[in-house]
């Protein structure tokens, strides 16, 4: 099933235009929605998850009219909020059992089996008797995924999932998302470019409520191939370079300053061609 968003707009009561005619077709698999803080990602995610209203536009998930048939959406949706930081005094097992009950799994044996299966899947079975308040951020996120998977969702929304995870937790979380994203729509909203380049075959960039590019991730990267140039400079020279070149990013590494610029042809002057990354694409469209 595909998620199809057309002309979605939202202005908050304080006048902030959070979404402006957003149109996106999101196929099965992992989809990355990238954008800086304040771009409108959470507003879009929360609207798809039926947690808030849009002013105009339409969202279809298969045949479900998402903005009108909220109960139908809830049957197929798994939502993982920015931080799964609730219920610190409950153990992982009891809480999952409780959520499963809320999802309507009344039979105790079936519920136990499902809870066990999901906690094992996210690698938390060993920690099932531990209270959520004692979990690391990564464990909380994995618990969040497990509860989002209750009820076999067809659409999963994850909002800023890897903020606060250490590298090992991040890898584990990525693997988990890749596995579940094989047959269903998983939307990953994030400002972390590497999350999208590592995981998502399709992506979009949103800025100030508008989608500025939607593309297959490798196509977006290839479109800037041969046009991204790098140079090590002295920090004081930065303003002069900013004046002269189409500057994308500055990186400090081991006390040295490296810049990336966009140029159709070789800018010479000591620049060398680099392999284009999604980060270059991101800055190209946001600059």
Q: Which residues bind ligand ADP (CB under 6 A)?
A: 12, 14, 16, 18, 35, 37-43
Least distance between ligand ADP and beta carbon 47 (Å): 9
Pairing mode of beta strands 228-233, 77-80:
unpaired
Beta carbon of residue 257, minimum distance to ligand ADP (angstroms, whole number): 29
- 6 vs 52, which CB is nearer to ligand ADP? 52
| Euclidean distance between CA atoms 42 and 245, whole angstroms | 34
Nearer to ligand ADP, 194 or 210 (CB): 210
Closest separation in Å from C-beta 36 to ligand ADP: 7
Least distance to ligand ADP, CB of residue 93, Å:
32
Alpha-carbon gap, residue 14 to 126, rounded angstroms: 47
Q: What is the DSSP letter of 162?
A: T
Question: Residue 136 CB, nearest distance to ligand ADP (Å)?
Answer: 24
Neighbours of 122 (CB within 10 A): 22
By C-beta, is 21 or 269 nearer to ligand ADP? Answer: 21
Q: Which two tokens stand for residue 69?
A: 């048939």
Whole-number minimum distance, CB 82 to ligand ADP, in Å?
9
Phi, psi for 85 (deg, rounded to 5): -120, 40
Name the phi and psi angles at 155, rounded to 5. -140, 125
| Between 18 and 199, CB nearer to ligand ADP | 18
Which residue(s) pair with 214 in the sheet?
A: 204
Q: What minimum distance in Å lies between the beta carbon of 193 and ligand ADP? A: 14
Complex with ligand ADP: residue 36 or 270, whichever CB lies closer: 36
**Distance between alpha carbon 164 and the CA centroid of its chain, in Å?**
14
Nearer to ligand ADP, 271 or 282 (CB): 282
Question: Minimum CB separation from ligand ADP for residue 52, in Å?
Answer: 8
The token duo for 200 is 């998502």
Q: Which DSSP symbol is given to 131? A: B
Contacts by residues 141-144 (CB-CB < 8 Å, ≥ 24 positions apart): 141/80, 141/84, 141/165, 141/169, 141/173, 142/172, 142/173, 142/176, 143/84, 143/92, 143/95, 143/96, 144/80, 144/81, 144/84
Say if residue 71 is exposed, middle or buried (CB neighbours under 10 Å; 0-12, 13-18, 19+): exposed
Task: Indicate the residue among 12 and 108 with the shorter CB distance to ligand ADP.
Answer: 12
Q: Which is nearer to ligand ADP, 12 or 287 (CB)?
A: 12
């Amino acid at each position: 099933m595909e998620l199809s968003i057309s002309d979605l707009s939202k202005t908050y009561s304080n006048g902030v235009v959070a979404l402006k005619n957003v149109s996106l077709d999101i196929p099965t698999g992992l989809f990355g929605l990238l954008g800086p803080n304040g771009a409108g990602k959470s507003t879009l995610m929360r609207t798809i998850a039926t947690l808030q209203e849009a002013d105009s536009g339409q969202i279809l998930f298969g045949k479900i009219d998402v903005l009108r048939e909220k109960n139908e959406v809830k049957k197929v949706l798994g939502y993982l909020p920015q931080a799964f930081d609730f219920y610190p005094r409950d153990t992982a097992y009891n809480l999952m059992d409780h959520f499963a009950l809320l999802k309507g799994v009344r039979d105790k044996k079936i519920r136990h089996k499902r809870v066990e299966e999901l906690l094992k899947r996210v690698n938390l079975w060993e920690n099932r008797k531990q209270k959520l308040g004692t979990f690391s951020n990564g464990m909380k996120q994995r618990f969040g995924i497990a509860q989002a998977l209750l009820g076999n969702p067809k659409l999963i929304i994850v909002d800023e999932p890897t903020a606060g995870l250490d590298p090992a937790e991040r890898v584990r979380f990525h693997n988990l998302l890749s596995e579940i994203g094989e047959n269903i729509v998983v939307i990953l909203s994030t400002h972390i470019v590497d999350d999208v380049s590592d995981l998502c075959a399709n992506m979009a960039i949103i800025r100030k409520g508008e989608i500025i590019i939607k593309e297959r991730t490798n196509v977006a990267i290839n479109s800037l191939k041969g046009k991204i140039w790098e140079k090590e400079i002295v920090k004081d020279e930065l303003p002069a370079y900013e004046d002269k070149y189409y500057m994308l990013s500055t990186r400090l590494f081991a006390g040295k300053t490296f810049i990336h610029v966009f140029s159709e042809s070789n800018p010479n002057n000591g620049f060398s061609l680099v392999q284009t990354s999604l980060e270059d694409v991101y800055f190209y469209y946001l600059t």
